[in-house]
Amino acid sequence: MRVSIRTVLLAAAASFAAGSALAQTGEVNVYSYRETKLIQPMLDAFTKDTGIKVNIISASSGLEQRIKTEGANSPADVLLTVDIGRLEEAAKSGISQPIASAELDKVVAPQYRDPEGHWYGISLRARVVYVSKERVQQTAITYEELADPKWKGKICIRSGQHMYNNALFAAVIAKHGEAKAEEWLRGLKANLAQKPSGGDRETARDVAAGKCDIGIGNTYYWALMNDKEADKKAWADATRVILPTFAGGGTHVNLSGVVLVKTAPNKANGMKLIEWLAGETAQHMYADVNYEYPLRAGIAINPTIAGYGTLKPDAMPISKIADNKKAASTLVDKVGFDN
């Protein structure tokens, strides 16, 4: 009898150990709008920290549709994305579930998360200007000023329908209303040196080559060219970054963020990953590997990024930008911005 009790106890202990081992390890499946290569270092560090294996696919569009169609069988646990418009849409499309985490609520300020917890911001980037060191003397500029005729033929920008510009234009609408924003967009269009095309790096390159004096681009591109990409260093050398502000406001920022999928088969691991991404290790990596602004307080901003000056994000609630996404796109069509 004794023996059998001991056996049972041992067996129970063994199974408990096995069970806890299972709970500690396991997998998490990530669908991502951020490129695999870009976030792989963080995911690897997460696996090293937690023993949880991360499976990932990245795509440029349609992941919400894929998750939705896959339905109850979907392997997706976490959706990683950039752009506030996309985060809001993911929540609206019904594929998300609230992330309830006191830990996250401490780290992520209320303006950078969904009030109901359907998405959380993880890092920030700002849409700024790269100006020619030689031909532009100003050290400060407002977004409103970009439509000033004094810059006629001097500005370069990528397509007005690209999500980075879409969010910036949506912010202008949210700030000034549609009529004023249209006037501004027409002014900006009139100042363009060439038809919008290429990407933010081409914009820096065009400023460096003298095609234009001001290029509009995201914060991390310039820093990457300056610090990491020897062949593009010359473009960074010829240009300077100014953090523009709205007149009487701050700088336009956008988010990268996370969504917990409603049907997540590995919900606990998904939550672990999300909390880990807001943790110190990951936030350091967001700052120094990806050159983004970490959302967690007390994490040092990368020195090159810090060299742009102190970022004062505009105080307007970021969800207002998502609300005006469609209007911004419509406005781009209406003024023929890309034509």
Partner 1 sequence: MRNGLASRGAVRLWPQVQVAAFLIAFAIAALVAAPLISFARIAAIGDAEIWAHLAAYVLPVALTQTALLLAGVAVIATIAGAGTAWLVTTFQFPGRDSLLWLLPLPLAIPTYIAAYVYVDIFDAAGPVQLLLREIFGWRTGADYWFPPVRSLGGAVLIIGFVLYPYVYLAARAMFQTQSAVFADAARSLGARPLTLARHITLPLARPALAVGLALAMLETLNDIGASEYLGVQTLTLSVFTTWLNRGSLPGAAQIAVIMLIAVTCLIALERYGRRRQNYIGAVQDAAVASRITLSGRAGWLAAGLCFIPVALGFLIPAGFLLREVIARGLLTGFDPVLIRHAATTVMLAGIATAVVLLLGIAATLPLRLKHHPAIFACVNFATLGYAVPGTVLALGLLSPLVAIDEAINWVAASFGTTGVGLVVAGSGAALVIAYAVRFLAIAIGFMQAGFARISGEFDDVARLLGAGPLTLARSVHLPMMRPALWGAALLVFVDCLKELPATLLLRPLNVETLSTYIYQFAVRGNFEEGALAALLIVAAGILPVIRIVRYADLPPARSSLR
Answer for which of 100, 109, 194, 303 binds partner 1 (CB under 8 A) is: 194
196 binds partner 1 per the rule CB under 8 A: yes
Q: How many residues bind partner 1 (CB under 8 A)?
A: 59
Q: Which residues of 182-201 are buried (b: 16+ CB within 10 A; e: fewer)?
A: bebbbbbbebbbeebeeebb
55 binds partner 1 per the rule CB under 8 A: yes
- The CB-of-193 to partner 1 minimum distance in angstroms stands at 7
Which residues within the stretch 156-175 sit at the binding site for partner 1 (CB under 8 A)?
A: 159, 161, 163, 166
Strand partners, 261: 96
211 vs 284, which CB is nearer to partner 1?
211
Q: Look at residues 88, 120, 84 and name the one whose alpha carbon lies nearest to residue 102.
A: 120
Q: Which stretch binds partner 1 (CB under 8 A): 9-17, 137-145, 172-180, 190-198?
A: 190-198
77 vs 144, which CB is nearer to partner 1?
77
Tell me, what amino acid is at 314?
D
CA 191/CA 91 separation, integer angstroms: 37
Answer for which of 129, 188, 193, 264 binds partner 1 (CB under 8 A) is: 193
- Report yes or no: 301 and 293 within 8 Å, Cβ to Cβ: yes
43 binds partner 1 per the rule CB under 8 A: no
75 binds partner 1 per the rule CB under 8 A: yes
101 vs 267, which CB is nearer to partner 1?
267
326 binds partner 1 per the rule CB under 8 A: yes
89 vs 178, which CB is nearer to partner 1?
89
**Extended strands (E) in 98-200:** 120-132, 155-156
CA 95/CA 270 separation, integer angstroms: 14
- Report yes or no: 252 and 120 within 8 Å, Cβ to Cβ: no
CA atoms within 13 A on the CB side of 255: 27
Which residues within the stretch 82-141 sit at the binding site for partner 1 (CB under 8 A)?
A: 89
Contacts of 46-49 with CB under 8 Å at 24 or more apart are 46/273, 46/276, 46/277, 46/282, 49/276, 49/281
**Where along the sequence are the contacts to partner 1 (CB under 8 A)?**
29, 35-38, 55-63, 65-66, 69-71, 73-75, 89, 153, 159, 161, 163, 166, 193-202, 205-206, 208-212, 221, 229, 231, 235, 325-326, 328-330, 333-334, 336, 338-339
